[in-house]
Amino acid sequence: MIYSPTDRSDGVLAFLEDRRSPLAKLMTGPGPTAAQVNDIIARAARVPDHRKLGPWRFIVIRGKMRETLGQYIGARFTALNPDKPLDKAVTESQRFIRAPTVVAVVSAPVDDPKGTPDWEQVLSAGAVCFQMLLVARAMGFAAQWLTEWIAYDEVVLAKLGLSGREKIAGFIYLGDSEQELPARSRPDIDSRITRLGE
C-alpha cells in the first residue's frame, strides 16, 4: 500500500464531500440481502481499534423480528408514558419497520490488561457506525444512523441482550431510497480550528 499524493482519489473525495443521510422513515425495500449486510459489517469493522480489541458487536434486526421488537418498544413506551395517546405508542412500535434492516452497533468495551481506556473503545464503536454509512452508500444502499430514546432505556437494552458496560452506539437503518437530499447547512469549520505552529 502506497500513501502519497500521487495516489490521490478524486472520486473518493467527491463521494465524501457529498455524503448525506437519507431518512430511515422514507426508505424502501428490499435493501441489502443478508449476505450484503454481512459484507457491510465486515468492511465497517475496519476502523481504528487500539490494540485490536474489537470493542463492539452487532445485532442484526430483519424480517418479522422488526415487528416483534417494535411491539415490545410500544408497550415499554406506554408503561413509561401512560398519559400519552395510543397512536403515539403505535408510532413508537413502528421504529424498526422504517427500513428493511436495522443493525444495532453495540459499544462493548473490554477489560484490557494494558489499560486501553474505555473512551478510546467507545470512539472505535462510533467509527464503526460512520464507516457503516459509507460502506452502505458505496454499495448503493441508503443508511441512516439513529439512536433515539430506545438506545438509552435499560429495559429495551436488556431485551436486546446488552449487559455490563455495553451501550448502543447507534441503530443503522439500511434500505433503498430515491430521496432527493437538499444541501444542508454545515458548521463553520474555520471557527472550530485552533492552529498551533505554521
Q: What is the pLDDT of residue 167?
A: 98
Q: What is the pLDDT of residue 182?
A: 79
Q: Give me the sign of the Cα torsion angle 32, 171, 58, 75.
A: negative
Q: What is the pLDDT of residue 92?
A: 96
Q: What is the pLDDT of residue 74?
A: 97
CATH topology of domain 22-176: NADH Oxidase (3.40.109)
Q: What is the pLDDT of residue 149?
A: 97
Rounded distance, CA 168 to CA 191, Å?
A: 31
* Per-domain boundaries in the chain: 22-176
pLDDT tens-place values along the chain, 198 residues long: 677 888 889 899 898 888 889 999 999 999 999 999 999 999 999 999 999 999 999 999 999 999 999 999 999 999 999 999 999 999 999 999 999 999 999 999 999 999 999 999 999 999 999 999 999 999 999 999 999 999 999 999 999 999 999 999 999 999 999 888 877 888 999 999 999 998
Rounded distance, CA 36 to CA 66, Å?
A: 18
Statement: the pTM of the whole predicted model exceeds 0.85: yes
Provide DSSP, 39-72. HHHHHHT-S--GGG---EEEEEEETTHHHHHHHH
C-alpha distances out from residue 187 to 15, 130, 131, 190, Å: 19, 18, 21, 9
